[in-house]
Chains A and B, each alone.
Chain A
Amino acid sequence: MEIRKGIPVSPGLAIAPAIVLDSEQFRIPRRSIAAEDAEGELERFRGAVEGAQAEIRELREHVARDVGEELGAIFDVQDALMTDNRLHEEVRELVEREHYAAEYAVSTVLKAYARKFLKLPNRYMAERVADVYDIEKRLLRHLIGAKRETLGRLTEPVVIIAHDLTPSQTASLDRSKILAFATDGGGRTSHTTIVARAMSIPAVVGLQTITADVSGGDTVVVDGNRGLVIINPDEETISRFQETERQFRRMEESLGNLKDLPAVTQDGHEVALWGNIEFPHEVQACLARGASGIGLYRTEFLYLDREEDPTEEDHYQAYAEAIEALQGRPITIRTCDLGADKFTHLSGDYDERNPFLGFRSIRFSLQHIGLFKTQLRAILRASVLGPTRLMFPLVTNLKELRQAKMILADVREDLEDEGVPFDRDLAIGIMVEVPSAALMARNFAGECDFFSIGTNDLVQYTLAVDRSNEQVAGMYTAGHPAVLRLIREVVQAACDADIEVAVCGEMAGEPMYTVLLIGLGVHALSVSPATLLEVKKVIRSVTMDQAREVTDKILSFDSDREVDAYLSELTRRLLPEMVV
């Protein structure tokens, strides 16, 4: 039994045999063929060569055009190697005499050449091994790529293990048989995450070596709540897992009774409890769990996984669907938060040393004004359909907020001229997720209508910790006193200026922090639907006086360990039945 830790991106638990997909290193089945199938296998091989050569030639043209003929000519060598009789003879030999399947023969021949190249004393020649691997990869993609279609006809439920799912891989999957995903790469906004969330199945990403750790057919547990993957669990773990799953269901049922009750403290103080969404259809899941609105609509998903920028109509349709599904409940739409770990074909053009400190989010929007205006127009147009608010992400200084508001004013003027209706009182807010914005909250409070504290980035920037780096991930905690003091500063600035303040990061959805946040005076919590009811239960279990008392106590601590220990204990008391 082995346990791997990754990033949980879609909640739930699953246990099933694994299927390992890998776009780069194919697992080549040592497959034999019947003697009479040899000609067919060679035909497949020739087809693969043709396909691979067509790719190479296209790539060559592309590189020659963009970078220069000199570099383009490099591909001529690969092209020649694939045409070469030697390769065809050796593959034929293995297929006809040894009855190897085409992919196994190709892999055997090319691996032998790779070894030969590596042994050459001339360093330059030894480096040609990269060409050999590249050719192997291309040929196998053609040979096994077609075989992958069998994934569309799975006979039993499976967990998919992959490097990072590509859109073409997921397009061919039989979704009804897939219980979970676990991937080496990816982040909260990778394609895998998008698909898992859309399918409502558990997913853990960023596992780094999971495709090497798991062999096809291994039994694996994917715990999308805690970000764990357990490989070949022992009997005890399996039964514990099944018990956890039962508990999880029981708790779900007991929490279900809370759905229609308001999120109020015992002394009648109401906290707005909203859901976070990426797709309009997720509004339903939030409402089903008793959300009173949407506090964070992450619109960058409109830009991902597509070749072209979304049109104004694409934006409008998505917003209209979400707003109408809410039937009069409020929604906060955040403008595009691209860059860093979220890329489109556009933002992918910039090579950055330090993407989280780079060209992303509002910075990106302010440089791509056409793209930004398209989105703003659609939001304004949709704002007449129901109570809508607009929020700018990653605002770092007042100038950015002013620029964004000026662009918005332009768009409003255009709509005005065209006679297109929009909500003239549309509230404008900012995500407070950079320490500079938190420290300047009093200045920002005079120029916008609400704050929403994005704790994920605020924690990362305050503590200088990248939690996808496992060497330092342990230092990442919202419970650090420095983070809590920044949050207090923001909440007080908002209260003094009489504007609303919400928390929409993951911290808001962790029941452990609920008492602390309402004690600090936060007006609204926006959480993923998965934890909405747990948070509501905590809110309903305390009075505001108790919450303030807890908050005072916590702000006196000088380490995150004390904070987290105190809050874990408190949560166990308030939510004894919770699965921890």
Chain B
Amino acid sequence: MPTRNIEITNATGLHARPAAKFVEIANRFRSQVAVHKNDRMVNGKSVWDMLTLDAAAGTILRLEVEGEDAEECLEELTELLRDPDNEKNV
């Protein structure tokens, strides 16, 4: 199962708009997306879940994507998380 650890580096963390964007991207794929923060795991396809994850700056998230289009999905999500404030992403 494609898995990746990504550090949230921007000052405001994974705030509401990029979180919503993250979910929007995740929902474009058929794969399941699990997002881990320490010992918590949430559904990467739910905005409610992602917001309560509260990923502040410095948080390391582990993404686990499972399904036929998992690789591609993980690529796109990684790109977003590396630069969540990028106009292109937000």
Q: What residues of chain A have their CB less than 8 Å away from a CB belonging to chain B?
A: 73-74, 76-77, 80-81, 84-87, 113, 116-117, 120-122, 124-125, 128, 131
Contact = CB atoms under 8 A, between A and B. Distances in A.
Interface stretch (B9-17, B28-36, B67-75, B77-85): B9-17
B17 A84 contact: no
A285 to B, nearest CB: 56
A125 B47 contact: no
Contacts of B17: 73-74, 76-77
A48 B56 CA distance: 33
Interface residues of B, number: 20
A87 B52 CA distance: 13
B54 to A, nearest CB: 4
B52 A117 contact: yes
A76 B22 CA distance: 13
A117 B50 CA distance: 11
Contacts of B46: 84-86
19 contacts: A73-B17, A77-B16, A77-B17, A80-B20, A81-B20, A84-B23, A84-B48, A86-B43, A86-B47, A86-B48, A87-B48, A117-B51, A117-B52, A122-B56, A124-B12, A124-B15, A125-B15, A125-B51, A128-B51
A125 B49 CA distance: 12
B47 A77 contact: yes
B74 to A, nearest CB: 21
A120 B54 contact: yes
Interface of B: 12-13, 15-17, 19-20, 23-24, 43, 45-49, 51-52, 54, 56, 90
Contacts of B15: 124-125
A85 B45 CA distance: 8
Given A77-B19, A125-B54, 9 more contacts: A77-B47, A80-B24, A81-B20, A81-B48, A85-B45, A86-B46, A116-B52, A122-B13, A128-B51
- In this complex, the member of A77, A80, A120, A131 whose beta carbon has the largest number of chain B beta carbons within 10 angstroms is A80
A241 to B, nearest CB: 51
B22 to A, nearest CB: 10
B14 to A, nearest CB: 9
Nearest to A116: B52
Contacts of B19: 77
Contact of A113 (B13, B24, B48): B48
A77 B20 contact: yes
B11 to A, nearest CB: 10
- In this complex, the member of B15, B46, B47 whose beta carbon has the largest number of chain A beta carbons within 10 angstroms is B47
A122 B13 CA distance: 9
Contact of A128 (B16, B23, B45, B90): B16
A105 to B, nearest CB: 15
Contacts of B24: 80
B49 A86 contact: yes
A84 B13 contact: no
Contacts of B13: 122, 124-125
A73 B48 contact: no
Nearest to A125: B54
A130 to B, nearest CB: 11
Contacts of A120: 52, 54
Contacts of B49: 86
A460 to B, nearest CB: 45
Contacts of B56: 121-122
Contacts of B90: 73
B48 to A, nearest CB: 4
Nearest to B45: A85
A109 to B, nearest CB: 9
Contacts of A77: 16-17, 19-20, 47
Nearest to A87: B48
10 closest Cβ pairs, A-B complex: A86-B46, A80-B20, A86-B48, A120-B54, A77-B16, A80-B47, A77-B20, A84-B47, A122-B56, A122-B54
A81 B54 contact: no
A227 B5 CA distance: 66
